[in-house]
Chain A
Amino acid sequence: KAGVTQTPRYLIKTRGQQVTLSCSPISGHRSVSWYQQTPGQGLQFLFEYFSETQRNKGNFPGRFSGRQFSNSRSEMNVSTLELGDSALYLCASRGETGQYFGPGTRLTVT
């Protein structure tokens, strides 16, 4: 099976802009989770989607949102970007033996 894919891999945005990141899970996986990794905070859970419904949400402001489509592909959106949003954003799909991660999207906000 193909692994988790994420697009784009790299992104540079300006403060105040918005961004949309995409994630395609492993075929057959219905749960998709998003994580943010920064040098200061480490890996933090953003939210989890299952069958197009957000089931779990981490402690992030409302500027961070997401959705899941009927084919289990997921997108996350960050509005009104701040410098502190610069991070590696990782998506994972969950199978019977845990979560499997994509290569990540590295977002730089200038």
Chain B
Amino acid sequence: GIQVEQSPPDLILQEGANSTLRCNFSDSVNNLQWFHQNPWGQLINLFYIPSGTKQNGRLSATTVATERYSLLYISSSQTTDSGVYFCAVGDYKLSFGAGTTVTVRA
């Protein structure tokens, strides 16, 4: 199956800092999603981004499908951005990376 690798595994930020999370995948994919897992465990959809660039407020994402990677940018981070960010690829069966745990300190 497709291998999905996320980096870094952990990220500690000061409030207001910017950061970049990376997702590499081992094969061509038609679909890629980014999720934020909240403290109660629910996966919140951030982006559906098989290719190109999208922005939603302080978050943006870029997927370069031909080079098999995607990036998630967090700008002006806030404490509410803390949590685990997952990248997942696939259609009916999502293959997830191990996640990046983000801690934003006030």
A99: nearest residue on chain B (CB-CB)?
B94
**Quick one: which of A50, A98, A100, A104 contacts B41, CB cutoff 8 A?**
A104
Asked if A97 CB lies within 8 Å of chain B CBs, one says: yes
Please, what's the 1-or-0 string for B10-35, where 1 marks a CB less than 8 Å from any CB in chain A?
00000000000000000000010101
A58 close to B (CB within 8 Å):
yes
Residue in contact with B94 in the complex, picked from A33, A102, A104, CB distance below 8 Å: A33
Interface string of B55-68 (1 = CB under 8 A from A): 00000000000000
Residue of A nearest to B35 (CB): A101
- A41 CB to closest chain B CB (Å) equals 10
The 8 Å CB contact of A103, one of B42, B93, B94, B99, is: B42
Question: A33: which B residues are within 8 A, CB to CB?
Answer: 92-94
A interface with B by C-beta (< 8 Å): 31, 33, 35, 37, 42-43, 45, 48, 50, 55-56, 58, 88, 90, 92, 94, 97-104, 106
